[in-house]
């Protein structure tokens, strides 16, 4: 199964860069894996959909502002939370973009094979080349989280089957 | 005083808010567009190396980084006193034409298309690109996505990266193209011309064939008789990459034509206490407030403005469409804000034709694409036409090339005053005695969206889409009614 991991964000805007930082950590850990690609991007909506063409599964990592404690890691499905770019004059929501892409005949991951990993941000309005401390501390946790999603630890019965 | 808030403006780049204030009778007293924008770019670039600017300023925006990249690169040419060789200039314009065609495509189909093709009264749930596909036909989805894919692929091929190019250098570009790349660019360009013609046909068949839509475009709801600004070539035809800035009066007379380095002689910036966005205006006419007319220094810099200040388009098919637009809408200049969408399609065709012309230019595969700068850097101004208005980058540096001053007038900022005026006028016409409904509010938004505004778009995060909320308040601040819809 081919998987695309997309880190979204702006590297110059404090916690908005967190998706890119997690992607950088994953790129290092996943070097040499032919079934996984890790990319950076800066748009949601249409462009995000276009990136997913040809993959079986996609994991999107981005900053999130939901009011939770900074650094909290959320898992969301495509229908849950479109990116802010979806409220854009140049774009549309990710679900709309996925429907549009499928209408055009593009091969895209099924909705259930698209996971959004959001890291709760504290500051997404000021320029800065580093994250706030709580968000910076969450980067390695998010990397481990995505690695676990990618390669889940086998459940006991599965492990037993493997041993057998 | 009652207050109506539209927050956020749906499908608007970045995040904006419109406040409409009603008087005691429930009629519109004032309308303000308030933008929470990232601030400080001009400040934090000071002290950095000038050569970083094409890459740094591209991060101002995720939608038009190519425009910032190019304006910055041109400012560096001037700052380092170096003239790029012809191949470099042509490559830059080729790159820029491809970007333009791609950007205008997305805008028409994702933003203005839903309003126009489905009509302002269509249910909100259908007024999106999927509604356009339903009405126009399934093959439009494939055409739009192919156009975008081709544009992004070629931008990456030429500029090094698909979103934030890393290619422009003072005196030229970092690499050229070979013959096989040229052939690929030409082939895709010919398809882009067909796509632009197809888009204009949609406008004909669905918008212009509908009397209600034409009446909406030519009515006075969206009419503003302001000055216009745009870049023109030596023949006064529209040019996006290079030329002089031409300004014409509300009656269409040329009042200024200048090299971008002289922009401060012509443009001043007004600061208002209720917003941190500046309001540029024509210095020689003066600031008279948010009003139009010959005596007010308010100007527009939009696709329609570029058409208004030009004598025509430099390519044959686009020029024919240019003439047809003016013949249909009653001659030059056109001040109807919604005609901006038509002008955008004329520009789409021009960009596609220019793309093909440059791909066929014998010099385009030349190997001389950089003149090495040798002079001590001083100061430089670079201008391009961003899709949403004239973009100006102005830098000064010390003898080491370390920046000492940065001033940016971005495309949308030019249109700050007209945007506020359009929203107010539309609201005045469409909100009466406190009566507001979803259709009317969408028409207020339509006025705004015609400018293709791009505010504070350097950031994004989850969650994104929020409801369009309208709160009607009585004079005591109590909520009378709340309306909302998801777009």
3 state SS for B145-206? HHHHHHHHHHHHHHHCCCCCCCCEECCEECCCCCHHHHHHHHHHHHHHHHHHHHHHHHHHHH
pLDDT at residue B9 greater than cutoff 60: no
Is it true that the peptide bond before A25 is cis, omega within 30 degrees of 0?
Answer: no
* Contact B134/A at CB under 8 A: no
- Region A24-32 average pLDDT: 94
Q: Which helix (H) or strand (E) holds B379?
A: strand B379-386
Q: Contact A82/B465, CB-based, under 8 Å?
A: yes
Do B110 and A90 make contact, defined as CB atoms within 8 angstroms? yes
| Closest approach of A160 to chain B, Cα-based (Å) | 40
Q: Decide if pLDDT at B65 tops 70.
A: yes
Q: Do residues A2 and A50 lie in contact, with contact meaning Cβ atoms separated by under 8 Å?
A: no
Contact between B128 and A125 using a beta-carbon 8 Å cutoff: no
Question: B7: pLDDT confidence band, cut at 50, 70 and 90?
Answer: very low
Averaged pLDDT, A7-21: 88
Instruction: Look at residue B235 in the predicted model and tell me its pLDDT.
Output: 97
Mean pLDDT throughout B286-293?
Answer: 93
Cis status, amide bond into A14, omega within 30 of 0: no
pLDDT at B439: 64
Q: How far apart are CA B374 and CA B361, in angstroms?
A: 29
Read off the CATH number of the domain in which A41 is found.
3.40.50.1450
pLDDT: which is higher, B216 or B147: B147
What is the per-residue pLDDT for A160? 53
B190 at A interface, C-beta within 8 A:
no
Please determine, for residue B183, whether its predicted confidence score (pLDDT) is greater than 90. yes
How many Cβ atoms are within 10 Å of B398's Cβ, its own excluded? 12
Whether residue B122 has pLDDT greater than 80: no
Pairwise CB contact (< 8 Å): A84 & B460? yes
**ipTM for this prediction:** 0.72
Mean pLDDT of chain A, nearest integer:
85
**In this structure, what token pair is assigned to residue B351?**
């960009």
Instruction: Judge contact between B4 and B22, C-beta under 8 A.
Output: yes
Q: Say if B155 is an interface residue toward chain A (CB within 8 Å).
A: no
Does residue B456 surpass a pLDDT of 70?
A: no
Express each pLDDT in B434-449 by its tens digit. Answer: 777 556 667 777 777 7
B130 has a chain A CB within 8 A of its CB: yes
DSSP-derived letter for residue B21 is E
Q: Which of B130, B148, B459 sits opposite A50 (nearest CB)?
A: B148
Return the top range by mean pLDDT from A119-133, B109-123, B301-315, B471-485.
B301-315
Per-residue pLDDT at B239: 98
pLDDT over threshold 90, residue A10: no
Res B467: pLDDT? 34
Give the pLDDT mean for A104-132.
Answer: 89
Domain spans in chain B, listed from the N-terminal domain onward: 2-36+424-485, 224-335
B61 pLDDT tier (thresholds 50, 70, 90): low
Arithmetic mean of pLDDT over chain B: 85
pLDDT value at residue B442? 72
Give every CB contact of residue A44 below 8 A, 6+ residues apart in sequence.
Answer: A8, A62, A82, A83, A84, A85, A86, A88, A91, A94, B460, B464
Written as one string, the DSSP assignment of B25-77 is: TSSEEEEEEE------HHHHTTTSBGGGHHHHHGGG-SSSHHHHHHHHHHHHH
Q: How confident is the model at residue A159 (pLDDT cuts 50, 70, 90)?
A: low
Nearest to A85 among B142, B464, B487 (CB): B464
Note the pLDDT of residue B424.
Answer: 82
- Which pLDDT band, with edges at 50, 70 and 90, does A9 fall under? confident
Report pLDDT for B471: 45
How far, in Å, are A72, B159, B428, B446 from residue B166 at the CA level?
Answer: 34, 6, 46, 35
Is B375 near chain A, with CB under 8 Å? no
Q: Report pLDDT for A91.
A: 60
Q: Which of chain A's residues have a Cβ under 8 Å away from the Cβ of B148?
A: 46, 50
Q: Is B330 on the interface with A (CB under 8 A)?
A: no
| DSSP element (H, E) containing B326 | helix B316-329
Report which of residues A92 and A5 the model is more confident about: A5
For residue B336, the model assigns a pLDDT of: 93
Asked whether residue B455 carries a pLDDT value surpassing 60, the answer given is no
Query: What pLDDT sits at residue A89?
Result: 45
Rounded to 10°, the helix B139-159/B129-136 angle is 120
* pLDDT at site B5: 44
Residue A3 has pLDDT above 60, yes or no: yes
Residue B460 has what pLDDT? Answer: 36
Tell me the HSE value of B459 on the side-chain side, using a 13 A CA sphere.
Answer: 27
pLDDT band (50, 70, 90) for residue B87: very high
Structure tokens at B3: 């207050």
Q: What's the average model confidence in pLDDT over B257-272?
A: 93
Instruction: Identify the pLDDT of residue B62.
Output: 55
Annotate chain A with three-state secondary structure: CCEEEEEECCCCEHHHHHHHHHHHHHHHHCCCCCCEEEEEECCCHHHHHHHCCCCCEEEEEEEECCCCCCCCEEEEECCCCCCHHHHCCCCCCHHHHHHHHHHCCCCCCCHHHEEEEEEECCCCCCCECCCCHHHHHHHHHHHHHHHHHHCCCCCHHHHHHHHC
Arithmetic mean of pLDDT, B30-46:
69
Q: What local confidence, expressed as pLDDT, does residue B104 receive? A: 93
pLDDT, residue A83, reads: 44
- How far does the CA of residue B256 sit from the closest CA of chain A (Å)? 32
Residue B356 has pLDDT above 60, yes or no: yes
pLDDT at residue B188, rounded to an integer: 98
Which residues 17-46 of chain A have a CB within 8 Å of chain B? 41-44, 46
What is the pLDDT, as a whole number, of residue B79?
98
User: Quick one: pLDDT band at residue B140, thresholds 50, 70, 90?
Assistant: confident
If one counts every other C-beta atom within 10 angstroms of the C-beta of residue B300, the result is 27
Average pLDDT over residues B103-126: 77
pTM of the model as a whole: 0.85
Tell me the chain B residues in contact with residue A76 when contact means C-beta distances shorter than 8 Å: 462
Q: At what angle do helices B179-202 and B139-159 cross, to 10 degrees?
A: 150
* Arithmetic mean of pLDDT, B356-368: 98
In this prediction, residues A67-91 reach a mean pLDDT of 69
**pLDDT at site B30:** 75
Nearest to B464 among A12, A87, A101 (CB): A87
What residue numbers bound the domain in which A17 lies? 3-163
Answer whether A72 touches B (CB < 8 Å).
no
Mean pLDDT of B126-135: 79
- What residues are paired with B370 via a beta bridge? B172
What is the average pLDDT across B290-317?
96
Measure the CA–CA gap between B161 and B152, rounded to whole angstroms: 9
| A-chain residues near B12 (CB < 8 A) | 87-89
Please give, rounded to a whole number of angstroms, the shortest distance from the CA of A101 to a CA of chain B.
Answer: 7
How far is residue B393's CA from residue B182's CA, in Å, rounded to a whole number?
Answer: 30
pLDDT reported for residue B454? 64
Does residue B66 belong to the interface with chain A, where contact is any CB pair within 8 Å?
A: no
Lowest mean pLDDT among A12-26, A82-96, B21-35, B283-297: A82-96
Q: At residue A133, does pLDDT exceed 60?
A: yes
Residue B306 in contact with partner chain A when CB distance is under 8 A: no
Residue B97 predicted with pLDDT over 60: yes
Domain count, chain A: 1
Region B343-350 average pLDDT: 97
Cβ–Cβ gap B12/A125 under 8 Å: no
Q: How confident is the model at residue B201 (pLDDT cuts 50, 70, 90)?
A: very high
């Amino acid at each position: 199964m081919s998987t695309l991991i997309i880190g979204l964000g702006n590297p110059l805007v404090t916690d908005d860069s967190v998706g890119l930082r997690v992607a950088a950590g994953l790129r290092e850990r996943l070097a040499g894996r032919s079934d996984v690609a890790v990319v950076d991007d800066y748009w949601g909506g249409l462009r995000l959909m276009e990136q997913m063409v040809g993959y079986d599964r996609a994991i999107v990592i981005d900053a999130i502002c939901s009011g939770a404690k900074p650094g909290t890691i959320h898992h969301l499905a495509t229908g849950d939370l479109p990116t802010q770019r979806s409220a854009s004059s140049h774009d549309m929501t990710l679900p709309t973009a996925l429907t549009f892409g499928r209408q055009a005949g593009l091969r895209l991951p099924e909705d259930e094979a698209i996971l959004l990993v959001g890291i709760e941000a504290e500051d997404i309005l000021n320029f800065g080349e580093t994250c706030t401390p709580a968000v910076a501390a969450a980067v390695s946790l998010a990397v481990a989280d995505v690695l676990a999603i990618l390669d889940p630890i086998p459940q006991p019965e599965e492990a037993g089957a493997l041993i057998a | 005083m009652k207050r109506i808030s539209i927050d956020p403006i749906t499908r608007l780049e970045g995040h904006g808010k419109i406040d409409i204030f009603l008087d005691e009778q429930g009629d519109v007293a004032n309308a303000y567009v308030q933008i929470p924008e990232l601030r400080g770019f001009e400040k934090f670039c000071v002290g950095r190396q000038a050569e970083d600017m094409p890459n740094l300023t591209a991060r101002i925006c995720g939608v038009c980084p190519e425009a910032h990249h190019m304006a910055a690169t041109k400012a560096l040419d001037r700052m380092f006193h170096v003239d790029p060789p012809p191949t470099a200039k042509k490559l830059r314009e080729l790159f820029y034409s491809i970007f333009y065609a791609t950007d205008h495509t997305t805008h028409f189909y994702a933003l203005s298309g839903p309003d126009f093709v489905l009509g302002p009264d269509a249910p909100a749930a259908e007024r999106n690109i999927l509604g356009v596909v339903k009405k126009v036909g399934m093959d439009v989805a494939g055409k739009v996505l192919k156009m975008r894919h081709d544009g992004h692929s070629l931008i990456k091929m030429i500029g090094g990266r698909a979103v934030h190019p890393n290619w422009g250098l003072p005196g030229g570009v970092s690499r050229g193209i070979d013959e096989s790349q040229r052939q690929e660019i030409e082939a895709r360009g010919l398809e882009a011309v067909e796509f632009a013609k197809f888009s204009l046909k949609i406008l004909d068949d669905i918008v212009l064939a509908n009397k209600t839509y034409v009446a909406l475009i030519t009515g006075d709801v969206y009419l503003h008789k302001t000055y216009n600004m745009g870049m023109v070539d030596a023949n006064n035809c529209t040019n996006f990459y290079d030329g002089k800035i031409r300004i014409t009066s509300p009656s269409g007379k040329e009042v200024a034509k200048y090299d971008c380095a002289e922009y401060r002689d012509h443009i001043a910036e007004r600061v208002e206490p209720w917003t941190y966005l500046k309001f540029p205006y024509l210095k020689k006419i003066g600031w008279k407030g948010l009003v139009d007319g010959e005596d007010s220094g308010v100007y527009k810099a939009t696709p329609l403005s570029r058409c208004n200040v030009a004598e025509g388009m430099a390519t044959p098919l686009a020029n024919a469409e240019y003439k047809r637009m003016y013949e249909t809408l009653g001659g030059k200049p056109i001040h109807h804000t919604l005609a901006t969408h038509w002008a955008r399609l004329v520009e789409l065709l021009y960009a596609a034709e220019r793309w093909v012309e440059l791909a066929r230019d014998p010099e385009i595969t030349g190997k001389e694409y950089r003149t090495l700068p040798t002079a001590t850097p001083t100061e430089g101004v670079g201008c391009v036409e961003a899709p949403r208005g004239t973009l100006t980058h102005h830098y000064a540096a010390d003898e080491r090339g370390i920046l000492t001053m940065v001033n940016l007038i971005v495309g949308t900022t030019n249109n700050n005053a007209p945007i506020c005026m359009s929203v107010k006028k539309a609201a005045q016409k469409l909100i009466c005695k406190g009566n507001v409904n979803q259709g009317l509010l969408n028409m207020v938004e339509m006025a705004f969206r015609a400018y293709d505004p791009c505010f504070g778009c350097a950031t994004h995060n989850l969650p994104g889409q929020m409801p369009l909320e309208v709160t009607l308040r009585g004079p005591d601040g109590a909520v009378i009614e709340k309306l909302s819809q998801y777009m």
